[in-house]
Structure 1
Amino acid sequence: MAVLVVLIVTFLASLGITWAGSGEPAYILSGNIAMCAMLQFTALGHFKFPEGMSRMIPPFVPFKKTMVLLTGLIEIAAGIALLFPATRHAAGIFLILFFIALLPANIYAASQHLDYQKGTYDGKGPEYLWFRIPMQVFLIAWVWYFAVQPAV
């Protein structure tokens, strides 16, 4: 839920600032600033909770902690790339694929009742997916609308 709060509050704040500064809101820029802020926020979790987040990755995948840290760096870089028109479209396509690729880890974590912040197996479980999967679709749609679609 905090992820969506960061996304929406940043979007609205950016709209207000661009509107106040130029007399009209910059929707595309604001949408990308908001996604960048959200990705910086989620990347923090990769560095704050690497042990718990590494448990989101199925057992057959090697180098779990390294992958958690690497995906945190990827989120930071992709978010920053959204801020520049020259890299926005490519970053948007990458992020859509990235969000799709990460969904199985979220499904696996939910099936294990993982609470990645505590690193324990007493989390919400599969019912969390009723929120997570629609949110993932929303994030993909957001990136499509604000980063990919404007260039098409």
Structure 2
Amino acid sequence: MKPFIVLLSVFAISLLTIKLLEGNYQFALSARIAMSVMLLFTAIAHFAFTKGMAMMLPSSIPYKTEIVYLTGIIEIAAALGLLFPSISTLTGWLLIAFFILILPANIYAAIHHIDYQKGTFEGKRKSYLWFRVPLQILFIIWVYFSTIAV
């Protein structure tokens, strides 16, 4: 839920700030700024809650910790790429692929009640874990309309 709140808050602030500074609304730019900040916010979890994030991957997957760090770095790179018009479309396509690739980890976490912040299988708010699935679909749509369909 926190990434969603960050996304919407930064979108609203960006939209209003750009309107005040430039005199018009720039929805796609505001959406890219919001997604960038949200990605930086979620990337922090990869480094702060590495153990719990690694638990989101099935035991059959090797190098879990390294994958968690790598996906955090990918989120940071994508956050930066969205801000450069010359590569924002390519970044958008790669980010959509990334969201699709990490969706199974979120489903696995929901099924196994993983509390990634505590690193346990006792997630209190199981509904939140399932909320992440439609949230990722929203992220995919958000990225598509702010980078590709513009």
Mean alpha-carbon deviation: is it higher for 23-32 or for 129-138?
Answer: 129-138
Query: How much has 1:126 moved relative to structure 2?
Result: 5.8
Q: Deviations over 1:16-68 (max 9, x none)?
A: 11100011111111110000000000000000000110000111111100110
**1:132 maps to which residue?**
132
Matched, 1:67 2:67: yes
Q: State the structure with bigger RCO (CA 8 A, min sep 6), 1 or 2.
A: 2
Task: Give the percent of matched residue pairs that are identical in Structure 1 and Structure 2.
Answer: 48
2:55, 2:114 within 8 Å by CA — same for their partners in 1? yes
The answer to whether the aligner puts 1:52 opposite 2:52 as a matched pair is yes
Moved over 3 A (4+): 124-130
Deviation at residue 127 of structure 1 after TM alignment: 3.8
Q: Which runs of 5+ in 2 are unaligned?
A: none
Structure 1: give runs of 5+ residues left out of the alignment: none
Alpha-carbon distance between aligned partners in 2 of 1:126 and 1:65, rounded to the nearest angstrom:
24
The AA in structure 2 aligned to 1:58 is P
Deviation at 1:130, TM superposition (A): 4.0
- Between the two proteins, the alignment pairs up a number of residues equal to 150
Q: State TM-score, norm by structure 1.
A: 0.94
CA–CA distance in 2 between the matches of 1:48 and 1:115?
13
Matches within 5 A, 1:78-117: 78-117=78-117
Match of 1:23 in 2: 23
TM-score (norm 2): 0.96
Matched, 1:7 2:15: no
